[in-house]
Amino acid sequence: MTLTRSQAELAEAYARAQGGRAAWFSYAENACDMLAKIGIVAPEDHLIVCADDFSASFERHFRWGRCSFVAEPTPDAFLTASGWGSAGSDVPFGSGDDRLVAEGSPASYAYPAGVHASRTFWFVSTIGCTCLRVPDIRELAHAAARVGALLIVDNTVASVFGCHPIELGAHICLEALDRVAAGMLERKAVAVIVAPAVSGRGRRRIVHPESEDAYRLIAFGLGDPDDPSSFGMLSPDDLSAVAWGLDSLAYRMQMHNDHARAIAEFLSCHPRVAHVFYPGLRSHADAAHAPRVLMHGFGPAIDFSLLGTCRESPADAARRFVADCACANRDAPAGGSKTRMSVVTCNDAAYVRIFVGTDDPLAVADGLDRALRRICSPSESRA
């Protein structure tokens, strides 16, 4: 694999693909880790998160600050957590005093974290949480703009092929590069994309002060995107993997999405499966607006739960299933060609999460079927 483009050139291409103003690449474990490393959220700021499948990571990285969690990726949930009630309440939205941070105030987001307080950040994933929820990003962006919050979207699961959060109104987009680089990264890396401060032309020209503030905040942490510092430099091999991955992304991601749709349909008809959560199914909670958020399909991820027995907890059953399933591929690289499985738990619920690869979907379905019939056998169900 030969490096043909510099990091600045790749970042510029990435920003252009997302409809963003600028992009940065840096090493980080995931979007939460990247957000903490940038340092834009100060201890006095309020970070509101909808990511119950990553709640432990947020609690660890932001244990020193004011971090709140919401259960639903809806404007009402975020507004309530921000102290403004719901969108349908008596809160006087549209007045000159409804921003959490007044324009031009000393508490502007343009100041580095730790200098001024009382800023509000909303964090949500394009496909995330248990049951793979899909937020209506346009509605969230509209609500965030009216109360002066910065909307941060984790686009890792959908990828730049499957969603453009910046074009839907997000101020900052974070995306782990595992799937973009087809699992070939030596170390985990994350892309950071910031929205343009101006959109439209002529009479339709609109200035977005929050986006300008977001750019300055990111630049404080990561430097000039056209001149990556040693802090944000990827190795030549990792840059080559990203460059190759971007060139082949559309072909590969379409296979991921198409195979996931087929396997989700298969699981939804299986007698040993209790529930299937996939944004492309009519039964999904966000099926009505998911097509307006996601492109080219509904992503590579599927959550499903097993028919339970009285002998073990749902989490134990899910772990036993993953350990027994031949196509779990726990040792395969994240984002690669192999289908991978893991267990996601939340409170008393447990789900098997599949990240569908580009491998043979018939072989994956056969492996799932065999494991389901062994783990959820009629003899166990009667026990």
pLDDT digits (tens, 9 = 90+) for 21-52: 999 999 999 999 999 999 899 888 999 999 99
pLDDT surpasses 70 at 284? yes
Whether the pLDDT of residue 294 is over 60: the answer is: yes
pLDDT score of 99 more than 50 = no
The residue ranking higher by pLDDT, 2 or 258, is 258
Question: Residue 96 pLDDT more than 60?
Answer: no
Options 1.10.1200.10, 1.10.3720.10, 3.40.50.150, 3.90.1150.10; CATH for 250-381 is 3.90.1150.10
pLDDT band at 229 (very low <50, low <70, confident <90, very high): confident
CATH 3.40.640.10 fits domain 7-236: yes
Q: Residue 335: which residues within 8 A CB-CB, separation 6 or more?
A: 176, 177, 178, 179, 180, 181, 182, 183, 355
How much is the mean pLDDT over the chain?
86
Specify the pLDDT at position 209: 82
Pairwise pLDDT comparison (114 vs 337), residue with the higher score? 337
Encode pLDDT of 177-187 as tens digits.
999 999 999 99
Cα separation, 9 vs 93, in Å, equals 42
How many angstroms separate the CA atoms of 138 and 142, rounded? 6
* pLDDT value at residue 286: 96
Share of the chain above pLDDT 90, in %: 65
Q: Where are the domains of the chain?
A: 7-236, 250-381
Domains 7-236 and 250-381 belong to one CATH topology: no
Looking at residue 148, its pLDDT comes to: 87
Please tell me the predicted confidence (pLDDT) of residue 309: 63
